[in-house]
Structure 1
Amino acid sequence: MFRITKEFHFSASHQLCRLPPDHQCARLHGHNYVVVVELAAAELNAFGFVRDYHELSPLKRYIDDNLDHRHLNVVFGHDAITAEWLAKHFFDWCKARIPETVAVRVSETPKTWAEYRP
């Protein structure tokens, strides 16, 4: 199996409203998110790629236009936008457009990662 990844970055705020009020993540705060999309294929295409990295440009546009420097609770109309939730969201978004998508990882801090892989 051939595997490739591409990394995307954005900054946004969120608030985990379901947590107790004294929990630090219940307060409005922000992150410099890192999103890593993983694609896989058993065979390479005619150009020798799993997929041309340029074909992931729509994800960058989606992130830049809709998520970067936004409040994610408002964008998604949801009160529990976690890294895990975002990983699933990005996976679903990518899988609908890029069939080779096999996993998405999301980082909120340099030391933490969440992954969605069906």
Structure 2
Amino acid sequence: MFRISKEFHFSASHQLAHLPDDHQCARLHGHNYIVVVELAAAELNADGFVRDYHELKPLKSYIDDHFDHRHLNDLLNVPSTAENLAKHFYDWCKSRWSEVAMVKVSETPKTWAEYRP
């Protein structure tokens, strides 16, 4: 299996207000997010790619236009956790590129949440 990945960045605020008041994530705060999308294929295309990285530019535009410097609670219908963001971006990507195998999201340099079916 061939695998490629590409990394995208954005900054946003959120609040997990359903958590207890003494939980740090219950307060309004922000992160510098990293989103990594991984694509996989058993065979390479005629150009020798899983998919040309340039074809992933719509994800950058989507993130820049809809997520960067926004309040995530206003954008998602589920709690704005890294896990739910990973699933959201996976679904968005999979609807465009059949090779999408996984998306992971980082909120901090030491934490990652991943979604893969």
- Give the Cα separation in 2 of the matches to 1:55 and 1:21: 43
Matched, 1:36 2:49: no
2:44 is aligned with what amino acid?
L
CA distance in structure 1 between the partners assigned to 2:23 and 2:95 by the alignment = 36
Post-superposition offset of 1:17: 1.2
1:83 matched to 2:43: no
Gaps of 5+ in 2: none
Write out per-residue CA displacement over residues 30-61 of structure 1, whole angstroms, 9 at most, x where no aligned residue. Answer: 00000000000000000000000000000000
Stretches of 4+ moved more than 2 A in 1?
Answer: none
1:65 maps to 65
Distance 2:22 2:74 in 1: 22
Tell me the percent identity.
78
- Counterpart of 1:105? 104
**TM-score scaled by structure 2?**
0.98
Over aligned residue pairs, what C-alpha RMSD do you find?
A: 0.7
Instruction: Give the length in aligned residue pairs.
Output: 117
- Unmatched runs of 5 consecutive residues or more in structure 1: none
> Which amino acid is 1:11 matched to?
S
DSSP-derived class of the 1:7 partner: strand
Alpha-carbon separation, structure 1, partners of 2:37 and 2:62 = 14
Q: TM-score, normalised by structure 1?
A: 0.97
